[in-house]
Amino acid sequence: MSSSNRTGSSALAFVLTGIPGLPMSSYWVALPLCCLYLLMLLGNCTLIWMIKTENSLHTPMYYFLSMLAVADLGLSLSTLPTMLAVFWFESTSLCFEACIVQMYFIHSFSTIESGVLVAMAFDRFFAICYPLQYASVLMSSLIMKVAGAIFMRGICVVLPVAILIKKMPFCGSHVLSHSFCLHQDMLRLVCGDIRVSSLYGLIAVILTKGLDSLTILLSYVMIIRAILNIASHEARAKAFSTCISHLCAVLIFYIPLIGLSIIHRFGKHLPPLTHMVLADAYLLVPPVLNPLVYSWKTKQIRRRILILLCRRGSQQQV
């Protein structure tokens, strides 16, 4: 591959990386990856289908949950082509334009998911702190506007990142640290001035995921205060149980994200396997675990799944 400066030329291609220390085509890795993607598709598509078809789930909480499932599907499907190409077919080369498109969708859906988690925190805040006004405030029209704002923010905030990096000159090594394209990883290979792109990326993260995490934290401070003011112990436990699933989703999403951001900026001396594990956890774990957590902790969804299983069993007997 030429070491001369290249920008958006079709001749420029990046080399994706598998797991350090393992052969590129490793079925011990490819098979579990396929199982994770299948589990992610089954779980999130089932959630969306159940919420769409079950009238009892047509409430703000479940509308936001369906948005979370859509964001999870988008996030996972953004990484699916290159992950399977690397581990199943040993295809490690990815052209410049395709890498930018993948990077854009990964960061867009990640920003959308962060926004959905904020909306879900507000939903729990109104349900617990202002139960009498809950139905009148969170009407379908407001939910549609919130959903539109969340998706537009994810689309628009990441667009300048893709435009800026498309104009960057790349030279020397074109080997990425992961089996997919991330903004920080691509910036590492730029041989020009990256200050504007790096600064915008940092500001975008602070104004989206940084503010989102602080908003969620503030919401839960007020939620906990409201729960502690409830006189009945049973009522307190019931109110807090409605937040457990969302808290799990927040932790599942933000812990790997924060760890990955810290390592990309301050952990360059760490082994490549550490970067790879955190990046994969950030992109694969939330879409797989969120449907499982909500199915396990949410009574209405659990009941609906049991009804479907019973119907299927009775149909097979007939």
pLDDT of residue 102: 96
pLDDT at 76: 92
pLDDT reported for residue 267: 65
CATH of 17-317, one of 1.20.1070.10, 2.60.220.30, 3.40.50.2300, 1.10.1270.20: 1.20.1070.10
Which pLDDT belongs to residue 6? 47
Q: Where are the domains of the chain?
A: 17-317
Looking at residue 31, its pLDDT comes to 85
Q: What is the pLDDT of residues 299-308, one digit of tens each?
A: 777 777 777 6
Q: Which residues is 15 bridged to in the sheet?
A: 93, 175
Identify the pLDDT of residue 317.
58
> Residue 8's pLDDT is what?
43
What is the model's pLDDT at position 122?
94
The segments of the chain whose pLDDT lies below 70 read 1-10, 20-26, 264-265, 267-268, 308-309, 311-318
